[in-house]
Structure 1
Amino acid sequence: MTLFEIIILAIIQGITEFLPISSSAHLILPSELLGWQNQGLAFDVAVHVGSLLAVMIYFRADIARMLVAWVQSGFSRQQTDDSKLAWWVILATIPAVVFGFVAKDFIEEYARSALVIACTTIFFGLVLWYADATGKLSKNIYQLTWKNALFIGLAQAMALIPGTSRSGITMTAGLMLGMDRESAARFSFLLSIPVILGAGLLATLDLFQQETVVDWEALFYGIGLSFVSAYTCIYLFLSWISKIGMLPFVIYRLVLGVVLLGFVFW
């Protein structure tokens, strides 16, 4: 990859990882539409490391409270709000792990195409609009139940299909359950931590099994730029989402999907 491609892809990953517009779609598109060289597994790991650092540092106080409460409460019946939230994150992660192991190879072979991305971008964009327009927007993050967490986790599992958007589908599920926009986004971001960490570890193991030359300069830029763009994105999104709603992202998804269909058929 050229330095320009490295910079653009790292920034794209950092921004789109947490916006409801699909990071995987945007990382696939440059190679599909512009003929750019595939960024490769090592660079994929690097930009996800940057995104992971960003979300963990931003939510460091929340993570610390949840971890302490979870350790102190354990499996007892006396759970605090923070220990329950930690359990709900764990529970909501399980469906994605199971579905990932079962369907990973199938998705890699058949679902990573511009046509699939176009269709899922449009469809799940409309679902996001419906959830945002009809949701009660009254439930905060501590009012989630285990059934709510499992529902969001099942929705997250669908995000393995490129174009769905992990953050988009989990926020959609949260809105459908009556969560306010900021709480739906915060739970989605907290839920991203074990998912990104797990995916990064698996990709790292795959990387060690390959005999490839690693471009350390590209990895350095990838981690740094994705971290900065992801942290900025999280901060701005949580600051604005209650005011602007999901409609701007829905419109973006619809326009992107139509453009992609144009590339596919014309």
Structure 2
Amino acid sequence: MIPAWLEAVILGIVQGLTEFIPVSSSGHLVLVPYLMGWEKHSLAFDVMLHVGTLGAVLVYFRGELSAIVRGLLRLDRSPMGEVYRRVGLLLVPASVPVAVVGLALAGPIEDAFGSPLVASLLLLVTATLLLTAEAIRSRRVRASGLVVDELAPVPAGPGATESTQRAWTGSWREGKGQVLDLTEAPVGLPLGEDASDPTGTDLSGITLRHAMTAGFAQCLAVLPGISRAGSTITGGVFAGLTREAATRFSFLLAIPALVGATILSLPDLADGGEALAELAGGMLAAFVSGYLAIRFLVRLVSRERLTGFAYYCLAASAVGVIGWLMLGPPSTV
């Protein structure tokens, strides 16, 4: 037996890493305690883990969030300010589907979270989503007729191409807008341009269709084993966003979901059975590992495919199924 505080830290690391890397945090939080033979933690502990990962995404995207707020308040009326404002506005309708589904299916979802077998099998769905996203992107690149280098640097600043420097003209349906002068733009929200995906749309051209496709895809993640990041990135790429733009929008879309889940779970804090050191350790571990996971994935998607995570999900699913066959259903005592 390991100390309770160390168990809490391990679960916090698992939560932080898997919340933002597309391998399903909910699935791992079901499988890890089950395979390790640990007792189920209280809902209060789960709340603190979500607080830790929420803090991580808020800190990492603090510049982007500040730019969005300035755009929403009309403090920045530049073309880039309009981009920030538009992304902020699109986060609202894109967050509605998962809120409705989460509230409507709270009971069945809670039952599913107790099944390691269900979580293991649904990891296969996450793997399928990631492979689908890469297949869609590859087909789009081939259809463009351009031969591009996946590792080529993305144009930026005054030397960038016109297609990477456009901002919203005011239409919610049209993708590309007026040409931007990024040399005069404040440091803020990277647009997610991708030189190896020349026909993909970056955040300067994101539309309601892009946002809602990612938002509806996020509904899949209410089930354990289906990654929220994986489903929303796939939805964004399917709708036409570049992989990096879809990833950045996915992380920003996580903020309303994490805030809502935390608020709804606040009453559960009174029912916690863990010591303060366990709660604090789990939350801090989730914050640090979550921050590092975001930083890693944002850098990775600009130059690498997501197929490696798909293969990991396939392996994790196999381990979970084998473990369930050997250990049987978890004890309810």
Partner of 1:173: 235
Shift of 1:197: 0.9
Which amino acid is the alignment partner of residue 233 of structure 1? Answer: A
Matches within 5 A, 1:1-266: 2-72=4-74, 80-110=82-112, 112-135=114-137, 136=140, 137=197, 138-208=200-270, 210=271, 212-266=272-326
Query: Does the Cα contact within 8 Å between 2:95 and 2:215 map onto a contact in 1?
Result: yes
List alignment gaps of at least 5 residues for structure 2: 76-80, 141-196, 327-333
- Distance in 1 separating the partners of 2:240 and 2:211: 13
Q: CA deviation at 1:12?
A: 0.6
- Could you report, residue by residue, the CA deviation over 1:93-149 in whole angstroms, capped at 9, with x for unpaired residues? 100111111001111124541221122111231221122122234211232211221
Contact 2:16–2:293 at 8 Å: present in 1 too? yes
Change (3 A) 1:118 1:213: closer
Query: 1:72 aligns to what SS in structure 2?
Result: coil
Query: Deviations for 1:156-213, whole angstroms, at most 9, x for unmatched residues?
Result: 01110110011110011111122222111111100111111110111112334x3x45
Larger Rg: 2
Equivalent residues of 2:56, 2:288 under 8 A apart: yes
Measure, in 1, the Cα distance between the counterparts of 2:309 and 2:275. Answer: 34
Q: In 2, Cα distance between the equivalents of 1:21 and 1:132?
A: 15
Is contact 2:210–2:241 with CA below 8 Å preserved after alignment? no
Divergent runs of 4+, >6 A:
none
Cα deviation, residue 90, structure 1: 1.0
Report if aligned partners of 2:91, 2:253 keep a CA contact under 8 Å in 1. Answer: yes
Q: CA deviation at 1:214?
A: 4.9
Q: Is 247-256 or 214-223 further displaced after alignment? A: 214-223
Q: CA deviation at 1:24?
A: 0.6
Amino acid of the residue matched to residue 91 of structure 2? Answer: V
Offset of residue 87 of structure 1:
1.1
- Higher mean Cα deviation, 97-106 or 132-141? 132-141
Code of the residue aligned with 1:147 in structure 2: it is R
Instruction: Classify 1:143/1:23 alpha carbon distance in 2 versus 1 (closer, same or farther; 3 Å).
Output: same
Separation of aligned partners in 1, 2:14 and 2:8: 10
Judge conservation of contact 2:42–2:273 (CA < 8 Å) in 1: no
2:247 partner letter? A
Identify unmatched segments of 5+ residues in structure 1. 74-78
SS at match of 1:17: helix
When normalised by structure 1's length, the TM-score is: 0.92
| Distance in 2 separating the partners of 1:228 and 1:111 | 25
Cα 1:110–1:220 change in 2 (3 A) is closer
Provide the C-alpha distance between the structure 2 equivalents of 1:118 and 1:30, rounded to a whole number of angstroms.
Answer: 11
TM-score by length of 2: 0.74
* Change in CA separation of 1:224 and 1:111 when aligned onto 2, cut-off 3 Å: closer
Aligned partners of 2:204, 2:103: CA distance in 1, in Å? 30
Deviations along 1:43-91, one digit per CA (max 9) or x if unpaired, are 1111111111111111111101111211339xxxxx9211110111111
Pair 1:111–1:48, CA change in 2 (3 A): closer
Residues 209-238 of structure 1: per-residue CA shift (max 9 Å, x gap): x3x455111121122111111111111111
Q: Distance in 1 between matches of 2:112 and 2:125?
A: 18
Amino acid in structure 2 at the alignment position of 1:251: Y
How many corresponding residue pairs?
A: 259
Secondary structure of 2:302's counterpart equals helix
Report the identity percentage.
34
What is the deviation of 1:32? 2.1
